[in-house]
Amino acid sequence: MSYLISNCPSFKCWVRREFTCNHQQYHGQFLHALAFAVNTIPDRSLTFQVVFTGCEIDDPESGIEENIHGGAMWARMPIEALVADIPLEEWPERMEDHLCQPWDCESRNHSVIVMDRVSSSPWIAKIDGEFYNSRYMFTVDYTENEIADSADQHKQSHVMYLTEGPWEGNIVALPNNRVRATSPALWRTGEGAPDFAPSQYLHSAEGHSSYTDPAITFDNLYQE
């Protein structure tokens, strides 16, 4: 279990340059980077440790001719600043915070996992009432916090990038109730709203009233 920061699957990305200058200038410009660690702070969006590569000088449209950024690092770069390093016809607009990550991080205590079984096929993301294909990257899960450990309030952050639509390329973090995983060989992808309701129950053998009855608690192979 990590606290505050942990390694994550590294990925190449573009950083909206205004995030490196307090949003005072460079809007519409991008710096190339490699993200390799993730931070979780309650009531904030996911943030990432990035190292800049200087590769933007290879793009004549970047307006940057000298490699002054390569090797420089930035801590806690917000997910809203990141665009996946994929072929794009044009840069996507920045997403509003509540669309990019609808639920803030729930705890400093977290784990990062790649859910292998659902990682290979496209995911479907619901954002602002519309559905978009996306590519899953990894998941951040939280614990040791009142909200994170509540049966009906807990949320995971599935980190992915959008592969279509007006925000194509933007990296987002969505909970289970905003995504569908697809795998035509293993299951049929549903349509419409699942008939689900959050569970308010916690399940525990030792919390059951029968735990006070030795005849039940010690009903094992050595008990006649």
130-148 pLDDT tens trace: 999 999 999 999 999 999 9
CB 5 within 8 A of CB 109: no
- Predicted confidence (pLDDT) per residue in 33-62, tens digit: 999 999 999 999 999 999 999 998 887 777
Other Cβ atoms within 10 Å of 216 Cβ, number: 11
Identify the bridge partners of residue 162 per DSSP, sorted by sequence position: 134
Mean pLDDT of 4-20: 98
Which residue type occupies 149? D
pLDDT band at 102 (very low <50, low <70, confident <90, very high): very high
More confident residue, 29 or 60: 29
Q: What's the pLDDT at 217?
A: 84
Q: What's the pLDDT at 223?
A: 66
Mean pLDDT of 181-196: 93
